[in-house]
Structure 1
Amino acid sequence: MIGFDEAMALVAGAAKPLGVESVSLAEAHGRTLAAPVIAQVDAPPRDVSAMDGYAVREADLPGALPVAGTAYPGDKVSQLAPGTCLRIFTGGPVPDGADRVVIQEEVTRDGDVATFGAPGGGRHIRRRGADFAAGTTLLDAGRRLGPRELVAAAGADLGEVEVWRQPLLAIFGTGDELAEPGRARDRPGAIPESLLLGVGALAEAAGGVIVMSRRLRDNLPELEQMAGWGLERADLVVVTGGASVGEKDYAKAMFAPAGLELIFSKVAIKPGKPVWLGRAGGRLVMGLPGNPSSAMVTARLLLAPLLQGLCGREAGLRWRQAPLAAPLGPCGDRETFVRATWEEGAAMPAGYQDSGAQKTLADADLLIRRRAGAPPAEAGETVEVIDF
């Protein structure tokens, strides 16, 4: 059994990007850049008006000027003759010769003649390249493409971007006691299978693509067959349950025919000690505990960083400091991750910390990290937390 920091280092070492592909911007949301986004154009591409108004030569002000035409966004650049003005709308190209846009509220118009007072205020012109010039790096490699990043990539006049390939996942939930949600009540002793949904959603949020999600019985030949299927089609196989020492705990045994080599087999954490990571058939395999809280805590702490690394992002966790809202007792000999909620600027530990808890799991939005052997902590003390 290894410590949490050692497990994190091993996860980071295994989390190597899987390869590069080009995708259209329409398909790029959530993907991670493998190459920087470099502007292909100036933005704006020419001097344009920042306001609705009139383009003028400052030397012609004040006075009454004939309106020589109108400039809309997307129009070609025109030439402004001395002693005239041009009606212009926001984004319209400023004509050659003009050096100011006077906003419409400061102009009196009578037919085709506009009257201006003395110049004052801003010039209301967005200069060519004021946002960025062609050749400017707008987004660095490793950046995840969210809504704002997609705007910048499109503004760079790119139709496609180079991104890291998303890892393909097969997720198997094991246990004869598991039933499809909505049907467990019809079979005595059955419990709803919840982790295929929870772990799958977490994996997709971290960048993975689910190619199969299936509930499996505790039948070793069937498990071995499905393990082989997963290893053929996925980059990472995740199995929940069957990680203890019972007669039907086959989570590791199901990968033995593919030559399972363990990277680690247990981690000294609570909850989630049975979590393990290995390789089989050239693919990564992660085993999560079968209890809901244990599985989701270890998935947040170890599976999410693994997927982030496979996607080309940093395979790490970002802890921050926060005050405790209520006291915590001493920590035992295993590093402990306490489910908590964020209440009025402080971390409030949940009262029920059982590894099988599901309501606490739903309510929690933080994990509090407690180092092994830590003494009691009083309300107001600072602790390490991470979003859950």
Structure 2
Amino acid sequence: MIAFDEAVAAVEALARPLGAETMRLERADGRVLAAPVVARRASPATAVSAMDGYAVREADLASGRARLRLAGESFAGAGFGGELAPGTCVRIFTGAPAPRGAERVVVQEEASREGEFVVLEPLPGSGRHLRAAASDFAPGEVLVPAGAVLDPQKLIAAAAADLASVEVVRRPKVVIVSTGDELREPGVRGAGPDSIPESVSFGIAALARRYGGEVVARRRLSDDLPSLTRAAACALEACDVVVTTGGASVGERDFSKAMFEPLGLELAFSKVAIKPGKPVWLGRACDRLVVGLPGNPTAALLTARLFLAPLLAGLSGRAAGSALEWETARLATPLEACGARETFYRGRSAGAGEVEVLADQDSSAQKALASADLLIRRRPGEGALEIGELVPVLAL
């Protein structure tokens, strides 16, 4: 049995980004770049107007007020084709290409029309209102570095770079295997009192997706070792990470490790000195990762949050530690002394940076779990704490 920090270090050592895949921009939100976004073109490709107005030559404004013949119009996507001759101007709109020879845009509020002529009276200090070619970025410039998580802002930059797709880190495929003769699917009519609705896999699947995993299967299996071993072999072929729930203790039908042993299971750790969730384990079989979670719902979700979340974050290209960003909150309720094992209490945000410790801390409690949104970390042997004292918390 190892300490919590040792177990986290073992997770981070295995949480290396997977290979890359090409993803179209419309599907790339939230993905991690495996290669930088490099501009294929300049932006803007040519000088463009920053305002609605009239494109002119500087020499024609030498005396301030000018009366220039209107030579044409320039629209975004349909520019003026010729060169701006002396004594002329071109009506231009925001984003439209500036005619060759144009050196300034006089905004329309500083102009008036007189038939085929335009009278311009630019105010002193008026800006040029032109965006130079490549003033935003040039061809070959890196707009978004590798390792960045694509969000709306970065997707705009990628599209502006003239890319239809990007190289992203492949998401880890996850299979969730729930074991236990007593389990059944929720909502089954006429189920006997000896069965219980399997609930854990739904929360684990949601957590896996939140931290970068792609859940490809969710299976419920009975406690038959030969069947479990066959299912384990199939799961390992279909994914990068197998997550088992249940069967992680030392009972006669606790087969979560045994089902992988014929497949060459190598353990990174088999127990962690935490409460709840001591039986959690991590290993590798057939070059795939396997995470064994307890069967009790609270213990399973808590250990998934502490170990599966950073594992999937790292495999999907993020920093594994980004999934374990502890903050500090003040206790809104007192907290008992911690025992010999590092303990993680379920808590609920009480506002204004405070956390309330939930009364029901049983590892099988599901009603209390539904109202929890924080984990409170206590070191082994720490004494009791009063209201107002600071504790480390992690968003659940």
The 8 Å contact of residues 264 and 276 in structure 1, kept in 2 or not, is answered as yes
Moved more, 91-100 or 336-345: 336-345
Aligned runs of 1:1-388 on 2, under 5 Å?
Answer: 1-59=1-59, 60=61, 61-76=64-79, 78-119=82-123, 120-183=125-188, 186-316=191-321, 317-351=324-358, 352-388=360-396
Checking the alignment, whether the CA contact within 8 Å between 2:106 and 2:122 is kept in structure 1 is no
> Contact 1:325–1:346 (CA<8 Å) still a contact in 2?
no
- Deviation string 1:309-352 (CA, Å, 9 cap, x unpaired) is 22222112222333333332322222222323333331323423
- Native 8 Å contact 2:329 2:355 kept in 1: no
1:237-265 Cα offsets, whole Å, 9 max, x none, are 11011111222211111112112221101
Which whole-Å CA distance do the structure 2 matches of 1:190 and 1:112 have between them? 88
Structure 2, unpaired ranges of 5+: none
Which is worse superposed, 301-310 or 134-143? 134-143
Q: 193-202 vs 24-33, which deviates more?
A: 24-33
How big is the alpha-carbon RMSD for the aligned residues of Structure 1 and Structure 2?
2.2
Residues 119-164 of structure 1: CA deviation (Å, up to 9, x unaligned): 3443322222222222222222212222322221121122332222
- Whole-Å Cα distance in 2 between the matches of residues 342 and 131 of structure 1? 44
* CA shift in 2, pair 1:267/1:79, >3 Å: same
Q: Distance in 2 between matches of 1:128 and 1:2?
A: 60
Offset, 1:8 = 0.7
TM-score, normalised relative to structure 2: 0.90
The answer (yes or no) to whether the contact 1:169–1:211 under 8 Å persists in 2 is yes
- Quick one: distance in 2 between partners of 1:123 and 1:359? 65
- Alpha-carbon distance, 1:387 to partner: 2.2
- Report the residue type matching 1:126 in the other structure: R
Partner Cα distance (1:87, 1:215) in 2:
70
Give the 3-state SS of the residue equivalent to 2:32 in structure 1.
coil
Q: Which string of whole-angstrom CA distances, capped at 9 and with x for unpartnered residues, describes residues 22-79 of structure 1?
A: 3332343332222222222222222222222222334424233332222111234652
* 1:179-237 deviations in Å (ceiling 9; x for gaps): 21112773213222122221112112222222221111122222111111111222111
Q: Which one-letter code corresponds to 1:205 in the other structure? A: R
Tell me, in whole angstroms, the C-alpha distance in 1 between the residues paired with 2:328 and 2:112.
59
Cα gap change, 1:180/1:100 in structure 2, threshold over 3 Å: closer, same or farther? same
- Aligned amino acid, residue 137 of structure 1: V
Mapped partners of 1:101, 1:345: distance in 2: 52
Q: Write the distance in 2 (CA, Å) between the matches of 1:172 and 1:199.
A: 10
Moved more, 350-359 or 190-199: 350-359
Structure-1 separation of matches of 2:49 and 2:18 = 46
Alpha-carbon spacing, 1:384–1:259, altered in 2? closer, same or farther (3 Å) = same
Label 1:345 to 1:43 Cα distance change in 2 as closer, same or farther (>3 A). farther
| One-letter code aligned to 2:68 | L
Q: Is the 8 A contact 2:350 2:356 kept in 1?
A: no
Structure 1 residues 231, 225: CA separation in 2 closer, same or farther (over 3 Å shift)?
same
Range with greater deviation from structure 2 (284-293 or 113-122)? 113-122
SS in 2 for 1:331: coil
What residue identity is the alignment partner of 1:385? Answer: V
Classify the secondary structure of the residue corresponding to 1:189. Answer: coil
Change in CA separation of 1:165 and 1:57 when aligned onto 2, cut-off 3 Å: same
Q: Secondary structure at the match of 2:7?
A: helix
When structure 1 is superposed on structure 2, of 221-230 and 129-138 the one drifting more is 129-138
- TM-score normalized by the length of structure 1: 0.92
Contact 1:169 1:237 (8 Å CA) reproduced: yes
